[in-house]
Structure 1
Amino acid sequence: MLTGLQRAAFPLAIAQTLTWASLYYSFPALLPTWQGALGWSKSELSGAFTLALVLSSVAAPLAGTLIDRGYGRVVLAGGMILGALLLMALPAIREVWQFYLLWAGIGLAMSACLYEACFTVITRIIGGQAREAITVVTLLGGFAGTLAFPAAHLMAEAYDWQTAVRLFAGVVLFISVPFVIYGVTCLGPFAETSAASKSGTSGRIMAQPTFWMLGMAFCAIGLAHGAILTHLLFILQENGLPAWLAVLVVSMIGPMQVVGRVFMMLTAGRVSTFGVAVACYSLMIVATAALLATRLNIWMAFVFVALHGAGYGVASIVRPVMTAELLGRQSFGTVFGMLAIPFMMGFAIGPTAAALTSELAGYETVIVGAGVILACGLVAVFAARRMAPVSIKNHAIQGAG
């Protein structure tokens, strides 16, 4: 049974799911089609997506600052509209630089309308109850990839990739935008950050060791997930899984994220955010060991996907909630936007780092490296909690009970 707050967050959940499917997952879903239709190499095409992710991370603090100033609804809806219009322009491209230019713009749009911006709006409006609403949004959002891949494949096969792109753009314009406007209204009135609290926010927050520890923790999980996810099909097939089974395992990551989020919803109020964060990193560390073990037993791949998917799924909820609890909610948009940079940068460079490492030392080294990075992230989580200002830490502990 959904609570009133969870029902209020449901329109945002629909908007986020469809926007993630259209602006983010449409790229990997259409990548093989583009490679055949446009005649450019996989690396040339993938570079545009890397650029989009990097620009999305760089622009995140600006989006957060605008949300802090009371423009949350405008930022979310504006980002969706911009992204949809740029998607509509994709069928007109003729040169690779045009492809890069449009995806650079889509990257900027993503910084304004995906999870980071949405979670910032939720936290700014409902404060300490944000965890409950964010869980609802990510619960449905876990199915974005499940929607995008078959939709892109069916439309490209039945018509062409241009029609598929126009469909994604239309979904964002005519479904996501109205839902996000309605959803923000349902959550309640928006409290603007006072002028006094805006002054010197960046410098004050960046001077705190807690900020840097959280940045390291978030970068670690983005880097490890990006490295493993992008190369997972290659890793599984190299370890002896037949192609059909490898595809099945990879397709389960999204549903396993949802399972993790459901479990978090069921334990809300009984487990602290810090406890959930420790469990999240621990699950993903054990998952790397399971992935290594697939060389000995291919069925360990299902253990890997269950642990990794659940851990990463919960991480998307933990990041904004833990940021608010350890750094406070004052100027939250700016602060969380700044912390999105190391996370997104890690996610963006992970695939390239894994590719280079695998060429030099093999995929086993990639997996071990991901496990070590996650362990460092777990240490950073403990350090961030220990270094947090006492007043904020005590408030977080009280709020968790």
Structure 2
Amino acid sequence: MSFASRTSDFFAGPWRAVVFLGVTQVLAWGAIYYTPVLMVPLIAAERGWSKAFTMGGYSLGILTAGIFARFIGSFIDRYGGHRVMPFGSLLGAAGLLALPHVESQIAYLAVWVVLGAAMSASLYDPAFATLGRIFGAAARRPITMLTLAGGLASTVSWPTTRALIDGVGWHNTYLIYAALLLFVAAPLHALMPRTRASVTPSPTPDGAPVPALLQPRGTAFALVVLAFAVYAFVPSGLLAHLLSMFGRAGIDPQTAVLLGMIFGPCQTLARLGEFTFARDVHPLTVARFAVASLLIGFALLAIFGLTTPVAIAFMLLFGISNGLITLCRGTVPLALFGAQGYGLTIGRIAGPALAIQSASPLIIAFVAERSSDLTAVALSGIAVALALVAFVLVPRPR
């Protein structure tokens, strides 16, 4: 078979969803989720608003994404990502077009509600739900490959956004990102496969049915929700303040920035390692390993303090842990609860995690200001320990 024929067969089949979603994930994360770090100070300065209020709009967007998550997952189960996710890109484009033009604080917050709805239909959770609908119980490998592509988002977004701001200003930067969502992401979402994998368990060789998976309710499901929710407190809250904490601990600014750059590549390497060496390991085991690794990082901070060598080790472990946990957000529910109603299951797990994620930067800032950086780090360590306990208590299906 010729290369052209193989390429044609690939894009005619379900695997094109991984390629299309890989592109749209980079665009959605880069345009909506990662830009506020650079944009918020500029918006606040131009409008005369406080940075706390301006960043509060972003937190409202994440909270809105959490509120809509279960509905988006249910819609994808019913109608497919090719019909639901284009609306996420269109809403994202509309919100980004509006941001440079809003003058009042109420309008600003309203735009972030729109962008929150866009995130709920554009980021990892709806993408996982879409792959679950297309590939069924075999979605683990496509999900892993998608997170490998999505891991490039922060690496690409921040330098690109910085260059665009310097070149055309923040207003036009948002317009460019809106155009990418409108003319690239939305069409790619609409062109994804419409096929739906069977979720009926395949019989075993002797004709007996496969043992039933866990039900997405009760104690086991509550433990999974708790584990992902309390873990979500850490990357969202700690990453927003970690570089400042490094500076207050005496680490020079250039070294602090280099430490921050470790995080992204470690996430990608961890996912590549899972794809290469742990594809036959149960996702629940991978999640336990990931959280335990980060807990070791917090133990190093508690024992040796925030020195440069310890900070390097911590960021390595943090990147590995977060890279694997992001992947497990898609694979653990699939392995435990199955492909039936997978989109709704993903949405129900994502809602509490996004709600905590929206509040955690403010909580960490409050604790660090009223007490100390050490207390804020200890609070994050407690959250990781609680996540590990919850993952350990989750039973595996027999």
- TM score, norm. by length of structure 2: 0.88
- Cα offset for 1:369? 1.6
Distance 1:45 1:245 in 2: 28
Residue in 1 that maps onto 2:21: 12
The offset of 1:118, in angstroms, is 0.6
Match of 1:199 in 2: none
C-alpha contact 2:137 2:338 (8 A) present in aligned 1? no
For 1:289 and 1:15, locate their aligned partners in 2 and report how far apart those are by CA, in whole Å. Answer: 37
Change (3 A) 1:41 1:293: farther
Do the aligned residues in 2 keep the contact of 1:239 with 1:298 (CA within 8 Å)?
no
Residues 1-400 of structure 1 aligned to structure 2 (within 5 Å): 9-182=18-191, 184-185=192-193, 189-191=195-197, 207-292=217-302, 295=305, 297-385=307-395, 393-394=397-398
Contact 1:292–1:367 (8 Å) recurs in 2? no
**Could you say what secondary structure the match of 1:110 adopts?**
helix
Larger mean CA deviation between 49-58 and 292-301 belongs to 292-301
Q: For residues 355 and 269 of structure 1, what CA distance do their matches in structure 2 show?
A: 38
Instruction: Tell me if structure 1 keeps the 8 A contact 2:283–2:328.
Output: yes
Distance change >3 Å, CA 48–CA 305, structure 1 → 2: same
Other structure's SS at 1:270 match: coil
Separation in 1 of the partners of 2:299 and 2:51? 30
| Preserved CA contact (<8 Å) 2:161 2:173 | yes
CA distance in 2, matches of 1:253, 1:165: 26
Q: CA RMSD in A?
A: 2.2
Deviation at 1:34? 1.8
Structure 1: where are the runs of 5+ without partners? 195-203, 387-392, 395-401
Q: Distance in 2 between matches of 1:63 and 1:213?
A: 22
- 1: CA distance between counterparts of 2:103 and 2:304? 43
Asked if the contact 1:261–1:314 (Cα under 8 Å) also holds between the matched residues in 2, the reply is: yes
User: In structure 2, what residue type is equivalent to 1:214?
Assistant: V
Gaps of 5+ in 2: 1-6, 201-213
Q: Which amino acid aligns with 2:33?
A: Y
How many angstroms does 1:296 deviate by? Answer: 5.3
Give the SS at the match of 2:307.
coil
| Distance in 1, Cα, partners of 2:236 & 2:304 | 20
In 1, Cα distance between equivalents of 2:91 and 2:372: 41
Shift of 1:291: 4.2
The alpha-carbon deviation at position 293 of structure 1 amounts to 6.1
CA–CA distance in 2 between the matches of 1:343 and 1:321? 16
Say whether the 8 Å CA contact 1:68–1:192 is kept in structure 2.
no
Q: 1:232 to 1:292 in 2, by over 3 A?
A: farther
1:116-149 Cα distance to aligned partner (Å, 9 max, x none): 0110110121122211111111111112112221
Deviation at residue 193 of structure 1 after TM alignment: 8.6
Letter in 2 for 1:69: R
Q: In 2 relative to 1, CA 8–77 (structure 1 residues): closer, same or farther, beyond 3 Å?
A: closer
Report the Cα offset of residue 192 of structure 1: 8.8
AA at the equivalent of 1:11: F
Identity of aligned residues (%): 28
Of the structure 1 ranges 97-106 and 30-39, higher mean CA displacement relative to structure 2 is found in 30-39
Kept in 2, the 8 Å contact 1:17–1:140? The answer is yes
**Mapped partners of 2:230, 2:306: distance in 1:** 27
Which letter does structure 2 place at the counterpart of 1:158?
G
Shift of 1:328: 2.5
Which digits, 9 at most, give the CA deviation of each residue in 1:232-265, with x for residues without a partner? 1111111111111112211321221111111111
